[in-house]
Structure 1
């Protein structure tokens, strides 16, 4: 599945793992994806921060809701089923936009469409920041479909020179 992810979408996944590690969590949940997406420079990050869902604000609400772990977690940190489902559904989002690659906007769209976590911490954090899922989704759609939006194709892996 990750072969369809742009470099920025892959960075989002890696940042989600780092967010989990910084909170001493032994899992990567949808809340960690949300934290990673707040730092995106493209439409995903703009849609979130435009509605006051910043990394610091979201992180504060996440810590209130589920707390921090007690000790650093060594080794691999697994993705919870809900966060894996968001990443899988990002492909559906991409196909809905008529493209066959996944960027952070598609990940956010999938996150907003459905958080199947037992406790939807990402959604609750967004709400606690004073935003609604619908408003962020509307902003995201507008940013991703704007006529002056930069081409969101996959980033080149290398450049050939003549």
Structure 2
């Protein structure tokens, strides 16, 4: 699959590994993929981020991702479902942090690398890569670019998609920003 990646998509993969390493994590997550995309300039994804105002609100995006990590990686949908059962996630996080300290629910710890210098992708991050292929094929594109990775990120339910949607970057808005009105890849979203 990687042989079909354009240079900007390969840069996203490399950048996501660098973000994972800087964070001291043992694997590459969807969040790292997003952060690597936000680092890029001159790509379709960068254009979409700029036109949707995400570039100017990067600090807000990073803060929202950090808050989600603080909540143990729960997405907005997870939090809403728990609230429907009468469970207040903010209260639980607060009580756990009173006892165990700030960020106690965050995944972390010492990296457990199997191969020096290599970090595996989490199942969710692999899912983004796989979905980007389906999106590219659905659009009739021969290569997988950063634009396909971005569409895959916003199409996949979870924290990253929630944070982007809260900042105005829904699947439809991103597709419109990158490809104009028609898009042609709507059916690839569900895949």
Question: How does the TM-score come out when normalised to structure 2?
Answer: 0.63
* 2:65 corresponds to 1:23: no
Q: Gaps spanning 5+ residues in structure 2: where?
A: 71-105, 184-191
- For residues 168 and 151 of structure 2, the distance between their equivalents in structure 1, rounded to whole angstroms, comes to 18
- For residues 46 and 86 of structure 1, the distance between their equivalents in structure 2, rounded to whole angstroms, comes to 20
Equivalent in 102, 112, 129 of residue 167 of structure 2: 129
Aligned length: 141
- Indicate if the aligned counterparts of 1:86 and 1:110 stay in contact, CA closer than 8 A: yes
SS in 2 for 1:86: helix
Q: Gaps spanning 5+ residues in structure 1: where?
A: 146-162
Larger mean Cα displacement after TM superposition, 92-101 or 4-13: 92-101
> CA 1:132–1:113 in structure 2 vs 1: closer, same or farther (change >3 Å)?
closer
- Indicate if the aligned counterparts of 2:155 and 2:161 stay in contact, CA closer than 8 A: no
Question: How does the TM-score come out when normalised to structure 1?
Answer: 0.73
Comparing both structures, which one devotes a greater share of its residues to helix?
A: 2
> CA 1:133–1:93 in structure 2 vs 1: closer, same or farther (change >3 Å)?
closer
The match for 1:62 is: 65
- For residues 29 and 137 of structure 1, the distance between their equivalents in structure 2, rounded to whole angstroms, comes to 22
- Indicate if the aligned counterparts of 2:154 and 2:169 stay in contact, CA closer than 8 A: no
> CA 1:134–1:27 in structure 2 vs 1: closer, same or farther (change >3 Å)?
same
* Consecutive aligned runs of 4 or more in structure 1 exceeding 6 Å deviation: 68-72
Shift of 1:114: 1.7
Shift of 1:72: 6.9
The match for 1:139 is: 177
Where do residues 12-161 of structure 1 align in structure 2 (5 Å cutoff)?
12-40=12-40, 41-54=42-55, 55-67=58-70, 73=111, 75-115=117-157, 120-142=158-180
- The structure with the largest alpha-carbon Rg is 2
Q: Tell me the C-alpha RMSD between the 2 structures.
A: 2.6
> CA 1:98–1:85 in structure 2 vs 1: closer, same or farther (change >3 Å)?
same
- Indicate if the aligned counterparts of 2:8 and 2:43 stay in contact, CA closer than 8 A: no
